[in-house]
Structure 1
């Protein structure tokens, strides 16, 4: 697409035109041949801009005034077959001393002809969203720092024999890490193509990140327990607010399909989700330690000896993986028994075999999510394949003979591998190439379902009756975060084998790629 940004003062023609991005696809839509800004004083005090193009297209318009600190309403009128007139009904109040306002045009294949943003953008720094995109030197000193990588074993060792001094030290460590990790993600937003920045869903997430960054940055150094608990309350409030982030990102990228390079969006989403996971791990671990400290009157692990405590904060040091598989499998079976009106106990059987007594040090929520998403796919397609092949013979799907799903667990000295095998018909080759992406043409049909979801924690108690297209990519992110991986092998017409590989000793640091900048891949 062709995108122009113009700056103008009173009575002038458009002061500057800058081509931000151009693609071959935009040439077929129509070439912009003329763009004129008219800010002469008129009786109605409207400000008009004239955009002449060579063919009919739709226009996405954003306008912001640094002076009024507002986004203004814009409407598009067609005066001639090839001319659009854009009129802003609230004047910019330009004068000789005014700061130039910004008007931006984007030639798109999708979007409504007009978009209303007639509202004040409220932030802790009392500046507009657009200003924060281009005036954010405060980020620089945090961007220059790297996140301090941690391991699960470090979290466990620090959480045992916890004292007040260690808890306060943990509070300040978490606070400092949040500054750095949020700053990197804000900078990633700023290096997305401009069209992503003008998307209202992406803009809302950006604004939420900035507000949290600003609030954390201004929170004073923790020196006592009372301040620590105030900080925990701040964390809980922010986590609740940020439960909207994944649905908002899903809606945002759904509107960018076909307009932005898919690889760039995938890299952006992987970093967003992985560092979101990293921040929540730190915050939830600290909150759990703080709760335990109070519940045990200042002493942690009083029931078991310090070296034998199984759960420290959010970390389970001796999680039996087969037990987790059975629990996730039972939940998946109940979901699809309800969905397809199948009698309890007659859905596809889940058989666990191999090293069933294997144990792993992990955050339960993370491993649950991976196993749950993979089993959900296997059970769903096993049922659908049976209905497709034999459903005409009966109205009672409970009578169908479903193929079992085999889960094999293998343990080495440092790794656990879980293979989940089904006979659900496999994945068509055209779809198989898109299973790890967030925003392909195939995934677009599912992304719109984020409209139905207000909150999403990326845990197994999320809304599972709606297909979103994020399950496998997010499972891979969860595994990659602690140095593991998820791989899918399909035999079209037969079934799928999914391999989940996870470090089991807790001695692998967070994925070192989590703070890579998008600048390097653009």
Structure 2
């Protein structure tokens, strides 16, 4: 199916000027002119605005993107009955959420050419079509949360943010010129900033819910929630960075990413944070195929490695210094320098399809009954009084989506979400009383579709692809 056919389906047949002039209409007229009919035909979701304003309304023309850009962040005027408007938007969400997403791969992202207006315009138009669909899927998930979850004011505020963004994004006109594309890029970057606190709010909300409703399971919801955020960030950042050429890069993808160098830099940062929190930090030794390079998104690799190293270093220090009964007391009293602690070992290898990074520590492992819990969003082996290292290391890498997750127990499951996003994974092998081996696998072929696609409802897993 062509991109143009999706465009016809998702773009409401309403000019931007019509939207802006809505605030000047009476409440009665605005209510009548709201989206009145939504039809689903195949993948396309057709919208039709029905008006009763005579010839003057029929004469309105579709304005330029420049007019839309100046007004897009003005709050949309709503009918006198705000609940009615919100309910109409919910109805649109439910209709559009039956549209399958079109998954990305690293290979397809690489087919968008940097500084090529035609290629970038095609990519931007795909994002304009795709974002409302993906937002509708996440709102669909919100609608099916247990009622007690949505009554939490923090979770509800995240829902409202998503709903408002969806309502704005679905109304955007097609992109026909480079000027349209530039305006769109500015818009989505500003729109993204309105979501800066959603992870923090969701983390607080989940913590509050778990305190009073321990039987509420939000893991599947949160996994798709974070998959969506990862995918949205990839889509937008790739488009933004492709506006200019940089040697060795294609957008946010480094064509020859030196994995060992990233691991070395992250280990230095995590050790510094660990030393600040505990006064000690185990050494990190990197071995294996240390010259290996592959095409990947370095920020993703850095986040994954950072989260695993944080756990490894913290566990090592605590196990050997904080009165653990499995450690000889005489040995424990002698640990005063970094060199007195067991090393954290990192091994790097590259196979035919996968890069494998093994991180091993002597931090005592995870008790068998708790092993499965480490993948639960909100679960943390760090107590409330022991979150200092999480907070100190939360500033690692300003481009990460993790800074506002410290202390919420999102670190390891989030790292796995990043690894899985383009076909990798994380596996943990715990040896209780000894330590833990963590195996990170990353697909370096670039042919794996994003994980969000496979986490959606089975009936929506159709063969619809991203551009390229």
TM category, shorter: 0.7 to 0.9
One of 106, 117, 129 as aligned partner of 1:152: 106
Conserved 8 A contact 1:184-1:517: no
One of 287, 309, 312 as aligned partner of 1:375: 309
The Cα of 1:431 is off from its aligned counterpart by 2.5
- Which is worse superposed, 506-515 or 375-384? 506-515
Quick one: structure 1 residues 429 and 138, their matched pair in 2 at CA, closer, same or farther if it must change by over 3 Å?
Answer: same
Which residue does 2:127 correspond to in 1?
Answer: 174
Q: Residues 264-343 of structure 1: matches in 2 within 5 Å?
A: 264-290=217-243, 292=244, 300=245, 309-342=247-280
Higher RCO structure (Cα 8 Å, ≥6 apart)? 2
Which residue does 2:44 correspond to in 1?
Answer: none
Which residue does 1:238 correspond to in 2?
Answer: 191
Which residue does 1:515 correspond to in 2?
Answer: 456
Specify the SS of the correspondent of 1:513.
Answer: helix
- CA–CA distance in 2 between the matches of 1:286 and 1:179? 17
Deviations 1:439-488 (A, max 9, x none): 45978959999xx99x9999559549943311111011111111111111
Specify the SS of the correspondent of 1:361.
Answer: strand
- The TM-score with structure 1 as length reference comes to 0.65
- CA–CA distance in 2 between the matches of 1:381 and 1:369? 18
Specify the SS of the correspondent of 1:316.
Answer: strand
One of 498, 501, 508 as aligned partner of 2:438: 498
The Cα of 1:150 is off from its aligned counterpart by 1.4
- In structure 1, stretches of 5+ residues that fail to align are 1-121, 293-299, 302-308
Deviations 1:157-186 (A, max 9, x none): 2124x4222222111111111011001001
Quick one: structure 1 residues 243 and 138, their matched pair in 2 at CA, closer, same or farther if it must change by over 3 Å?
Answer: same
The Cα of 1:200 is off from its aligned counterpart by 0.5
Conserved 8 A contact 1:191-1:518: no
One of 385, 401, 405 as aligned partner of 2:344: 405
Deviations 1:79-109 (A, max 9, x none): xxxxxxxxxxxxxxxxxxxxxxxxxxxxxxx
- By percentage of residues, which structure has more strand? 1
Quick one: structure 1 residues 133 and 324, their matched pair in 2 at CA, closer, same or farther if it must change by over 3 Å?
Answer: farther
Deviations 1:30-82 (A, max 9, x none): xxxxxxxxxxxxxxxxxxxxxxxxxxxxxxxxxxxxxxxxxxxxxxxxxxxxx
Q: Residues 48-197 of structure 1: matches in 2 within 5 Å?
A: 125=78, 128=82, 132=86, 136-160=90-114, 162-197=115-150
Which residue does 1:117 correspond to in 2?
Answer: none
Aligned length: 375
Quick one: structure 1 residues 167 and 251, their matched pair in 2 at CA, closer, same or farther if it must change by over 3 Å?
Answer: same
Give yes or no for the alignment of 1:362 onto 2:315.
no
Conserved 8 A contact 2:365-2:432: yes
- CA–CA distance in 2 between the matches of 1:367 and 1:238? 26
Give yes or no for the alignment of 1:198 onto 2:151.
yes
Cα RMSD of the aligned pairs, angstroms, is: 3.4
- The TM-score with structure 2 as length reference comes to 0.72
- By percentage of residues, which structure has more helix? 2
Which residue does 1:108 correspond to in 2?
Answer: none
Conserved 8 A contact 1:275-1:514: no
- CA–CA distance in 2 between the matches of 1:369 and 1:383? 21
One of 352, 377, 387 as aligned partner of 2:321: 387
- CA–CA distance in 2 between the matches of 1:446 and 1:134? 46
Which residue does 1:100 correspond to in 2?
Answer: none
Quick one: structure 1 residues 330 and 440, their matched pair in 2 at CA, closer, same or farther if it must change by over 3 Å?
Answer: closer
